[in-house]
Amino acid sequence: MSEHSKFLEPITRENAAVVLVDHQVGLLSGVRDIPLEALKHNTVALARAAGVLGIPLVVTTTAADSMWGPTTPELVEALPAGQKIIDRSTVNAWHDDRVRKAVEATGRRKLIFAGVSLEVCAALPAIAATAAGYDAYVAVDASGTFSRTKRETGLLRMQQAGVVVSDYATLMVEALADNALPESGALYTALDMPFAVLVGQISAAHRG
């Protein structure tokens, strides 16, 4: 499959994994390119939606006990029971053997990254995964950084390296594929898209 055509293959629940990098309380305190509550909402929604679809998660932090603090509590609450959080020292998460092995253990070739900061924690492992032969995507609205310049240059660098940029809801809806599936309602509830209302659920609530 050519470098171009591999990204024409859709994301599915069978071929994708989600990698959440460094959504830590210290790092989130400096985010300036996206409202903090929106970033937390989108990251939690991505994690919950992945759980609904059975898409495996790999979650990591950097120096949680000394530099950047723990994973944000909202995200921890949204993770599947027993989810391991890998704490590392490497700047690039892909350079940690445990992270790579956790990704390999999923058996998935399409990796959806999100991280704080966007241009380091999301971009660097996504670029490295692309170089290693994976198809890398970044959920930009579940990532954040510290200035507009960092955001713009991070996006440019990823695109130059062949990483696909998207948003959390589009990636998960693509993996759902069919709104007639029984789990579609749970998926859209997990996504909690602020720009759309699940009219069917409102109607059901009124009938109750």
User: Which residues are annotated as catalytic?
Assistant: 121
For residues 58 and 179, what is the distance between their CA atoms, to the nearest angstrom? 26
Cβ contact 33:146 at 8 Å: yes
Cα-Cα-Cα-Cα dihedral sign, residues 118, 5, 1, 156: negative
Cβ contact 93:124 at 8 Å: yes
Other Cβ atoms within 10 Å of 194 Cβ, number:
11
